[in-house]
Amino acid sequence: MKVSGLLVCACVAALSVGCNGRNRSDNTVATNAKGSATADTAGTAGSVSNKDKDFVNDQLSGGMAEIQLAQLAKDHAASADVKQFAQMMIDDHTKAGDQLKQVASSNAIPQQPQIDSKEQSLMDKLSKLNGPDFDKAYMKAMVDDHEKDVSDVKSRVDKDRPKSSDDRVTMAVNQWAADTLPTLEHHLDSAKQIKNKL
């Protein structure tokens, strides 16, 4: 009787350890599955090319600068055309920036946009101008900036279509570039027309 009681206790203990072990193993699997997903995400972040990361951050930085310059233009410009152009910059660059941030977030691309010293220097210069002097300097800057923007974004596009790539992240960035290029080209054309009128 004592032997069978001990045997029952041993079986209960073994089952208890077995069940707890199974729970631990399930937790480990869940943790591994979660950890694996996190590792995949980290792996994606680790596999993001410097070219993609730099492009995304350059575009986000440029967009931030365009918006800040446009806000300055709304206060300092004399021309109704320049003010209207500035509002278009705010609307379009905010939308394009939000879309690019979504692409970056979805593809684990680190976002570190910063306004560079060249853009800051331009803002400082323009903040001291008003009226027609501001209009001319601002629109010249917009032509120059958008020529560079169009060139940079075109490097990701083939005949209005995103350049093909085997890399999922690069394709997502290239698709954003293809979608955004017509807007930037419109900005450039508008900036040139307004500059020529001033």
Judged against a pLDDT cut of 80, whether residue 137 lies above it is answered with yes
More confident residue, 147 or 31: 147
CA distances from 95 to 71, 100, 162, 195 (A): 15, 9, 19, 24
81 within 8 A of 194, measured Cβ to Cβ: yes
Supply the CATH classification number for the domain 48-197. 1.20.1260.10
For residue 31, give both structure tokens: 């943790």
pTM: predicted TM-score of the whole model, two decimal places: 0.75
Query: For position 128, what pLDDT does the model report?
Result: 97
Tokens of 12: 């209960």
Q: Where are the domains of the chain?
A: 1-47, 48-197
pLDDT at residue number 111: 95
141-190 residue pLDDT tens = 999 999 999 999 999 999 889 999 999 999 999 999 999 999 999 999 99
Distance set, CA 99 to CA 106, 139, 180, 190 (Å): 11, 26, 10, 23
- Higher pLDDT pick, 136 / 160: 136
pLDDT at 181: 98
Residue 47: band (very low, low, confident or very high) from pLDDT cuts 50, 70, 90: confident
Structure-block tokens of residue 161: 């279509």
